[in-house]
Chains A and B, each alone.
Chain A
Amino acid sequence: MGDDASMRRFIGRDLVLGECPARACVELRGDPDDASFVRAVRTVTDLPLPLDPGRSAAGLLASILWLGPDRWLVCSDTQAGSDLAASLRAALAAIACAVVDVGAARIVYAVGGSNARAVLAKGCSLDLHERKFPLGHCAQTLLAKAPVLVHLSGAEPTFEIHVARSLRDYAWAWLRAAASEYAAEADDA
């Protein structure tokens, strides 16, 4: 422990690793066949609820990632988690659902650059090729045995890896080790 988020950065050849600033994350459960539920989520996020496995929706206010047939993660970089959860709860007050602010439980690492797929492939059995895992795709899986949520958020590509805060150091140590072969020429030895 000890080092703050701004220190968690690694720049290698066609590869950037870094920790993202704290992000509002709210886990949402509800019935996707209930039109009033889908409509209420839309009024808060201005986004359609992604109904297909592995899909996400992104907008200016928030993004929504599919976690399961009745579970989503609503994220925002522009609102506090407590505010986001409060607006969802208000809009969903009359609807059977669950809204839980989970932002404090997780952190997000970004893995970007044309070597990003090669780094993640060392510890993740998902096929992250763009044909199988296109822009906007997300999946919960294991990365080096750690439960993660992987989201292709940028076409560069940039993969965002959500991981439990308790695994923050472990995940960073693994990413740094997996990235070491892409270190700048000077420390190739």
Chain B
Amino acid sequence: MLRIACPWCGARDETEFGYGGEAHVALPADAAQLSDAAWAEYLFMRSNPKGRHRERWVHTHGCRRWFNVVRDTTTERIFAVYLAGSPPAQLPDEPA
């Protein structure tokens, strides 16, 4: 099980959290004008990397807040936790 450090509550078990997929996927400004293909690109396509991934988590059974995490999808190591709404965190370049 992962231990995730909620920015407010501190380290808690993964079972207290919900996963929200890739972070920083912004709604296109011209959403009403998009072609079906562009809309599908926004709605369904994700980077799905093998390695460091910026993703959203919510502390469902704690403070109920959303926040962002940088996690390595192969090692499960968590590199950073940062507030929702802040700019994308730098990905660490050292090997896992």
Contact = CB atoms under 8 A, between A and B. Distances in A.
B77 interface: no
Given A67-B63, A147-B61, A142 B13 contact: yes
Contacts of B8: 53, 68-69
A141 interface: yes
Chain A interface size, under 10 / 10 to 19 / 20 to 34 / 35 or more: 10 to 19
B73 interface: no
A30 interface: no
Chain B interface size, under 10 / 10 to 19 / 20 to 34 / 35 or more: 10 to 19
A67 B62 CA distance: 8
Interface of B: 8-10, 12-13, 15-16, 61-65
A139 interface: yes
Contact of B61 (A53, A69, A71, A140): A140
A48 interface: no
Interface in A144-159: 145, 147
A79 interface: no
A145 B60 CA distance: 13
Contacts of A145: 15
A54 B13 contact: no
A141 B62 contact: yes
Nearest to A68: B63
A125 B13 contact: yes
Given A53-B8, A53-B10, A54-B9, 15 more contacts: A53-B9, A68-B62, A69-B8, A71-B63, A71-B64, A125-B13, A126-B12, A139-B62, A140-B61, A140-B62, A141-B12, A141-B16, A142-B13, A145-B15, A147-B61
Contact of B64 (A53, A54, A68, A141): A68
Contacts of B10: 53
A68 B65 contact: yes
B63 A142 contact: no
24 contacts: A53-B8, A53-B9, A53-B10, A53-B63, A54-B9, A67-B63, A67-B64, A68-B8, A68-B63, A68-B65, A69-B8, A69-B65, A71-B64, A125-B12, A126-B12, A139-B62, A140-B61, A140-B62, A141-B12, A141-B61, A141-B62, A142-B13, A142-B15, A145-B15
